[in-house]
Structure 1
Amino acid sequence: MTAQPVEDLPGAIDRALEGRSILVLPRNRDDSITEVAPSQWTGAGRAPALILFTSGSTGTARAVALSAEALTTSARATERFLAGPGDWHLSLPINHIAGFQVELRARLAGWEPVRATSATFTAEAFADEAAELFARSGDRPSYTSLVPTQLHRILADERASEAAAKFDAILLGGSAISPALLERADARGLHIVRTYGMSETAGGCVYNGVPFDGLEITITESSTIDLRGQVVADSYVEITPEGHIAPVDDQALTTDDDGARSMHTSDLGRLDDGVLTVLGRADDIIVSGGTNVSPHALETGLLPTWQHHGIAEVLVTWVPDEEWGKLLVALVRTDGRIPPAVAKVHDSPREFARYLGGLDHRMQGQLLPRLAFPVTEIPHRSIGKPDRRTAARLAEELAELADTAETEE
């Protein structure tokens, strides 16, 4: 049986959960969701309910197979963590697990989500969609799921901020969340739930640092995070030209003798009394002058201070350097309110970095960016995760332009 485009997603979700079809989400948000027959599965055991592709933030996107059990376990755990089944607003692309889970939670709750009608997220549209949701929800809880970039835009708009404060909970994940953003959200009365998870765990599985019931978290000797439980994917898969779906062995996803599944992530973390703190990705570590630097740690450590000096967002990356090997660079998005002291050094990458590094950020002893470039937008992928490869290329281009300008002077 060939793949059939999905016309009715709620009905297709029912068929996939019942084992009557396999839902296949597209790589790109503009392509069609399709259904294939379970007979296309060539692995052992029951066919998966869902095939989707990872965000590809660390390389080529990979296809992941999720069971009906993993998907529903995740959705029901979310209901238990929040205020029970409720009405959902959908502003995330459904070809990613975060967006698909909104559709699934809404289907299990019995009320279709209010879906964004535009591919481009705007604060104005969010406010309109929230008003539509609240008008029908009555006494039912109302929820939405966002990425930090969307929350930034909401908090810059008064009407959208007022609408966001009416939600019983806002799930926030997809990329690193700055303390400064959370402080602004709290000041406006927003009910933020920080989520951690991935395609391979059926979406967020750790809320506000606390794992779902039945999920085991282990910090390995190399400080990376292992996740074990029912929400973990069956396997990675490959889809043949004939449409067959075959499992692919990979050490990142393993199954114990008792059938328990584990995801061995590349994320660094620590556990404090059972509460998880994510410290960034092991493969994002920048070695500068022989010192390991976590860009995530720098970003979350510097922004609370930098935000008071006109900086709305920061991404730490690097450029090649003869002395340092990799020279630390900060790409910063300003909020349009640049103080005079910043304006004086804004056009000199080295002076700009020296000024920002000299602020009272309480990160003494930590290597800091030696160059700082203002940018109109921080590079992100479609789901809101920082695009660190694109950021590194952009930093190198900006550094070359700065060097050329200095030479001409």
Structure 2
Amino acid sequence: MTRPLVALGASDPMAVLRGLEAALAGGPALLPVAEGAPALPTPPPADVPQRVALVVETSGSTGTGKRVALSSEALLAGAAAADAALGGPGVWLLALPTHYIAGLNVLTRSIAAGTTPVVVGPGHFDAGVFADAVDRLVVGPAAPRRYTSLVPVQLARVLDDPRATAALGRFDAVLVGGQATPVALRERARAAGIRVVTTYGASETSGGCVYDGTPLGTVRAELVDGELQLAGPMLAEGYLDDPERTAAAFTEREGHRWYRTGDAATIVDGRIRVTGRLDDVVISGGEKVPLGAVERIVRELPGQDGAVVTRRASGEWGEVPVVVTEHPVDLEVVRARVADALGRAARPAEVLVVDRMPMLASGKPDRRAVRTLADPPG
């Protein structure tokens, strides 16, 4: 059995909301599309398996394009687990694009709660516009709580604006995810009275399924050869029309279906700490250097919570880390801090200051563009 797949421009969040509501109720499956974004190499099919309610296109910040197929059951299981962890359903403020899973999560949770989200204005994120949108939030007896979801760069911009910071303090929880949230940024938010909840997940897990390091509800987490693997009712069906990639990313073990995240992590007393991508390693002078670990250290330096660490080819060392940032920082300070934590081989070779960090529409750094800045072809 199949059902039609309807592609819908994501520039109208309320249209996406209506399309998702119909899909969750058994109508045509929904494919939100970012207008103006490069198309994937193959067009989407006209029909999808009956179990598929939502298809999320993602190219990631470094990988190749894919279409993640999600069922109504997975999406609603994720929404229910999130509501339970947050203390109940609520009214949501949508500040994220609706062709990304984090923005779609806001819509799914609003549908499940029977509430209508308030949408921050279109265009680049603006703290003043965000504060105006918060003023439009109205809670009621059925859903008396306020929630929103941001990426770290949005949180930083809000905290730079006193009025927006005060508005953010009115939320019962502010979910922050999409990438690692620097400790200094979390501490700054909490000092301002913001109830931050850090989230971890992917399109393949129906979005965030780990809050503040703790798996939600029936979500299970295990480490297999250092890789974080997740199981639970929120897992995607797989990748649309791509059985080989599906087989590589999803595995059966101990009577459960597991998603191989590709992330390195530690689990201590049930709490997960993601330490970086397993494949995000350079060999510098014969030593393995995890770029994610270098980036976390750099981001703890004052003013560097948006810095990105990428790689550059080196005739002498093979590859070396390079820091790309919008704010100048002394290279020797960076090298000393990194060397103390990770050893001499991990020391960045350069700090490259840019006028504006290349960003994806999701608010994440565009790591392919950043790498091109640090190591231009030719």
Q: TM-score range by the shorter chain?
A: 0.7 to 0.9
Could you report, residue by residue, the CA deviation over 1:196-227 in whole angstroms, capped at 9, with x for unpaired residues?
Answer: 00000000000000001211111111x11111
The 1:293–1:4 alpha-carbon spacing in structure 2 relative to 1, beyond 3 Å, is closer
Partner of 1:356: 334
| 1:251 equivalenced with 2:247 (yes/no) | yes
Amino acid at match of 1:229: G
Partner of 1:237: 240
2:349 to 370, 376, 382: 370
SS at match of 2:240: strand
Q: Is the 8 Å Cα contact of residues 230 and 261 (structure 1) preserved in structure 2?
A: no
Residues in 1 aligned to 2:338 and 2:318: alpha-carbon distance in whole angstroms: 27
The 1:227–1:75 alpha-carbon spacing in structure 2 relative to 1, beyond 3 Å, is same
Identity %: 37
Residues in 2 aligned to 1:66 and 1:312: alpha-carbon distance in whole angstroms: 33
Partner of 2:87: 83
Partner of 1:137: 139
Q: Is the 8 Å Cα contact of residues 154 and 161 (structure 1) preserved in structure 2?
A: yes
1:102 deviates by: 0.2
Partner of 1:261: 257
Query: Which runs of 5 or more residues in structure 1 are unaligned?
Result: 32-37, 239-245, 343-351, 401-409
The 1:87–1:60 alpha-carbon spacing in structure 2 relative to 1, beyond 3 Å, is same
1:318 to 311, 322, 326: 311
Moved more, 364-373 or 8-17: 8-17
1:360 deviates by: 9.2
Structure 2 counterparts to residues 10-409 of structure 1, below 5 A: 10-28=17-35, 40-41=47-48, 43=49, 46-133=50-137, 136-137=138-139, 140-221=144-225, 223-238=226-241, 250-254=246-250, 256=252, 260-304=256-300, 306-307=301-302, 310-334=303-327, 352-358=330-336, 362-363=340-341, 365-366=343-344, 367-397=346-376
The 1:2–1:380 alpha-carbon spacing in structure 2 relative to 1, beyond 3 Å, is closer
SS at match of 2:218: coil
The 1:28–1:210 alpha-carbon spacing in structure 2 relative to 1, beyond 3 Å, is farther
1:374 deviates by: 1.8
Amino acid at match of 1:15: A
Q: Is the 8 Å Cα contact of residues 139 and 146 (structure 2) preserved in structure 1?
A: yes
SS at match of 1:270: strand
Q: Is the 8 Å Cα contact of residues 145 and 172 (structure 1) preserved in structure 2?
A: yes
Q: Is the 8 Å Cα contact of residues 234 and 261 (structure 1) preserved in structure 2?
A: no
The 1:118–1:287 alpha-carbon spacing in structure 2 relative to 1, beyond 3 Å, is same
1:301 deviates by: 1.9
1:2 deviates by: 7.8
Q: Is the 8 Å Cα contact of residues 182 and 305 (structure 2) preserved in structure 1?
A: no
SS at match of 1:107: helix
The 1:127–1:27 alpha-carbon spacing in structure 2 relative to 1, beyond 3 Å, is closer
Could you report, residue by residue, the CA deviation over 1:129-166 in whole angstroms, capped at 9, with x for unpaired residues?
Answer: 11111xx2256110000001111111111111111111
Q: Is the 8 Å Cα contact of residues 294 and 338 (structure 2) preserved in structure 1?
A: no
SS at match of 1:277: strand
Q: Is the 8 Å Cα contact of residues 83 and 89 (structure 2) preserved in structure 1?
A: yes
Amino acid at match of 1:370: A
Amino acid at match of 1:396: D
The 1:289–1:255 alpha-carbon spacing in structure 2 relative to 1, beyond 3 Å, is closer
Moved more, 387-396 or 77-86: 387-396
1:40 deviates by: 2.1
1:389 deviates by: 1.9
For the pair shown, which has the larger CA radius of gyration, 1 or 2? 1
TM-score normalised over the length of structure 1: 0.81
The 1:27–1:253 alpha-carbon spacing in structure 2 relative to 1, beyond 3 Å, is farther
Q: Is the 8 Å Cα contact of residues 202 and 208 (structure 2) preserved in structure 1?
A: yes
1:380 deviates by: 2.6
1:52 deviates by: 1.1
